[in-house]
Structure 1
Amino acid sequence: MGGPTAFFNRTYDETMALLLEARNYVAHHEAADQAKLPPHLRLQASYEAMRVTTRLTQVMAWLLAQKAVHAGEMTQEQAASDEYALSGGHICSEPSGPESELLPGGLRSLLDRSHGLYVRVARLDEMVRRNVA
């Protein structure tokens, strides 16, 4: 395997690792971290945790479609359709605001890394769509 397939596999592995880390954070740390926060920050933390989840599920869905293309299970044209496009842009593409500095460190780390991954994959999605058009 070389070229684009290797790149997609690395991005897929990165996404899977981040998904597992996010799951572990929610399962083992989120409640304790949020218990220390005032109500308005608990609400913000819940919102941001959902944003991490949204980013990662959108990226994973897009990567699975690309893997299907590389495996010959669908055409690049099918994968570039709106049905398989990376979505959630208005929620996922915005970075966290300055109020996130008050959120727990584990959540901030997930926010930053999931944002970087989403932005990178959004550029890939644009490239794929442009190449098919």
Structure 2
Amino acid sequence: MAAERSRGGGEQTADAFTGGKLFDTVFSRGMALVEETASYLDGPGRENAKTLDREPSLTYAAWSMELTTRLMQAASWLVMQKAVRDGEMRREDAAAKKYRIRREEPPLDTRAQKGLGLPPRFLDLVEKSEALFEQICRLDQALYGPQTAAGASNPVFDQIAQLQKAAETGAFDPLMVWHKAR
């Protein structure tokens, strides 16, 4: 019963987020940034890239790929949350590891690149995209809990999962769960 209440509380928090104005704001801002970045990279950015010296050109190419990847991950996460809100996807499915989002690489450091030949507009888009990606990662963690590194096990979360499973099946024996974890 307690597990149902705590799980229900998490779902209520997630539902309150996706059903609220904050989500609408993040969603709109995120999608607008995806469009703005795509327009820049396909238009003025493509023209600017042709005029760059060798070093800035290499950085621009690498960062463009990273920028696009992170924006697509953020946009996919936002669309998935919208699908959950609209009843097109179950929250449990959205919580699956394959749909989670987290930063695995350090953010692109725009401050270190200022004045080194990259277009200021490009650096501005990178900075905005990094901020959005970071916000989405924090939201994911707040809604679905922290993730461990790939293949790593978190004993605390493993034990909590065992307790929840035992409570849900009616076979709640805290000592049995505790002995298994040891």
- Please classify the TM superposition score into its range, dividing by the shorter chain length: 0.7 to 0.9
For structure 2, which runs of at least 5 residues remain unmatched after alignment?
1-15, 147-160, 162-182
Q: Distance in 2 between matches of 1:31 and 1:130?
A: 39
Q: Distance in 2 between matches of 1:122 and 1:96?
A: 18
- 2:35 aligned residue (2, 20, 41): 20
Q: Distance in 2 between matches of 1:9 and 1:115?
A: 19
- 2:93 aligned residue (54, 78, 90): 78
Please name the residue that 1:94 is paired with. Answer: 107
TM-score, normalised to structure 2, is 0.64
From the two aligned structures, give the one with the greater helix fraction.
1
Report percent identity of matched pairs. Answer: 29
Whether contact under 8 Å (2:110, 2:127) holds in the other structure is: no
Structure 1 consecutive aligned stretches of length 4 or more whose deviation exceeds 4 Å:
none
For structure 1, which runs of at least 5 residues remain unmatched after alignment?
none
One-letter identity of the residue aligned with 2:96: S
Q: Which entry has the higher C-alpha Rg, 1 or 2? A: 2
Please name the residue that 2:52 is paired with. Answer: 37
Paired residues, number = 129
Cα offsets for 1:25-79 (capped at 9, x unmatched): 1121123212332112101001111122111100111111111111122222211
TM-score, normalised to structure 1, is 0.85
2:134 is equivalent to residue 119 of structure 1: yes
